[in-house]
Amino acid sequence: MIDIGGAWNPGTPTRSLYHFKLLIMLCETFGFHLAQDFYWWNPSRLPTPAEWVTVRRIRVKDAIDAVWWFSKTPWPKASNRRVLQPYSKSMRELLKKGYRAKKRPSGHDISDKFAVDNGAAIPPNLIAIPNTESNSYYLRYCQERGITPHPARYPAALPEYFIRMLTDEGDRVLDPFAGSRVTGEVCERLQRRWLCVELVEEYLLGARGRFERTGGPEPETKAASDEDDTYYRMPHPGILWNGATDEPLSADGGKTRRVSADPARNSGQTAPFRPSSSRPAPLLDLLEAEAEPATPAKPSRDQSSRQ
């Protein structure tokens, strides 16, 4: 597994192609198979790169890391049953009310087997985990000893997802860029053997805290208390398209740094939203992808004209 956020080319609002080249090289030169590409969405990611996103307003927030699963054969061991998710509200309703087998607008022919309650849903390859750890034993351990905590720690649920899906108890996991050894901590908890390599000694000194804690490693997996705690909702991209006339785009693509007379625009705030009575306000639930509503909502006039 490789988590790689990608990078921006210095000084221009364009992306480096490095990580795509790496992917091609690992497969075409070194013979790995790309078993699947995942995308880790960090809902708490700050709006960066600030110059392009909040100052010139010419790019959107960079909030996704690509997480690539490479395998030595096309058939690495794996089970998606290890990472199932609760059914979404719409799917639960569908299971309750029953599903009328028919051809979907997408062209897929869905049989009545679709409405079988399997207890949980198969997740999409988009993984939503906020990176908001602020009060862990690890951080307290570092603080008490004057050790600088690792600045780019992953949420434990990220390695945990793949360790659960792709390994069995007793298997060995190698993390060659271990940082604060969050992978090691997860492996201890899940009874996998592990090996971590890290260049910076101070990170390893801090990482000791993960294993010296009495009572074993700290479980970071969030126990689901209710749906609001387990689902991240993302607005439909059209929710604010209200027919208002847009400000003309800068012909130079934002190359000239302009300061607007409107202070709200400079501070990155959006203009006040005036809702349109004709537009429905649909919300896409990212994790509801396994079910389409029984009766799809009619697209609004504005939406259909964009297709």
Residues that bind ligand SAM (CB under 6 A): 150, 152-154, 177, 179-180, 182, 197-200, 203
- Residue pair 124/41 in contact (Cβ under 8 Å)? The answer is no
What is the nearest approach in angstroms of ligand SAM to the Cβ of residue 53? 22
Helix axes 182-190, 157-166, angle to 10 degrees: 50
Of 66 and 240, nearer to ligand SAM (C-beta) is 66
- Residue pair 238/271 in contact (Cβ under 8 Å)? The answer is no
Of 175 and 288, nearer to ligand SAM (C-beta) is 175
Query: Residue 287 to residues 24, 69, 77: CA-CA distances in angstroms?
Result: 29, 21, 25
Of 198 and 302, nearer to ligand SAM (C-beta) is 198
What is the nearest approach in angstroms of ligand SAM to the Cβ of residue 3? 8
Question: How many DSSP H helices and E strands does the chain contain?
Answer: 11, 10
Closest to 149 in 3D by CA, of 182, 174, 186: 182
Of 88 and 180, nearer to ligand SAM (C-beta) is 180
What is the nearest approach in angstroms of ligand SAM to the Cβ of residue 152? 4
What is the nearest approach in angstroms of ligand SAM to the Cβ of residue 9? 20
The residue number whose beta carbon is nearest to ligand SAM equals: 179
> What's the CA angle centered on 96, arms 90 and 102, to 5 degrees?
75
Of 199 and 244, nearer to ligand SAM (C-beta) is 199
What is the nearest approach in angstroms of ligand SAM to the Cβ of residue 72? 22
Burial of 78 (0-12, 13-18, 19+ CB in 10 A): middle
DSSP 233-258: EEE-TTTT--SPPPPPPPTTTT-S--
Of 177 and 273, nearer to ligand SAM (C-beta) is 177
What is the nearest approach in angstroms of ligand SAM to the Cβ of residue 8? 17
* 212: its two tokens: 């010296």
